[in-house]
Amino acid sequence: MGIFGSGKKQEEREIAGGEVALSDGKIYNIAKKIDCIGDSCPRPQLMTKKALADCASGDVVEVLIDNPSSVEAIPPMLNDLNSSHLETIKATRYWEVYVIKN
């Protein structure tokens, strides 16, 4: 295991596709899914920033995180990335954070 997590390859960490229905009743297409399970700060924030840099306006990114401090750190950084926090959902072993590029 590396210093920043499980050592998963990049292609295993970013997955495109899928849909999600959030509590606002809207269904969103997921442009990218970022697997940050097992990663500690600041890796989830850096991976989220990188994923959003590659996204177009209106794209939704799903970030899977099991580190509580990263869950708290992502929403405040989104203003600087021209993005917005849609919702955070607590799953059994991790959180699903949904972000949209403005």
Q: What percent of the chain has pLDDT over 70?
A: 84
Which pLDDT score is estimated for 99?
98
Q: What pLDDT is attached to residue 12?
A: 45
Q: What is the pTM of this model?
A: 0.85
The answer to whether 93 and 66 are in contact (CB under 8 A) is: yes
> What pLDDT band is residue 17 in, cutting at 50, 70 and 90?
confident
**pLDDT band at residue 9, thresholds of 50, 70 and 90?**
very low
| Partner residues linked to 41 by β-bridges | none
Domain ranges of the chain: 10-101
For residue 68, whether the previous peptide bond is cis, meaning omega lies within 30 degrees of 0, is no
Q: What is the model's pLDDT at position 13?
A: 60
* Superfamily of chain region 10-101: TusA-like domain (3.30.110.40)
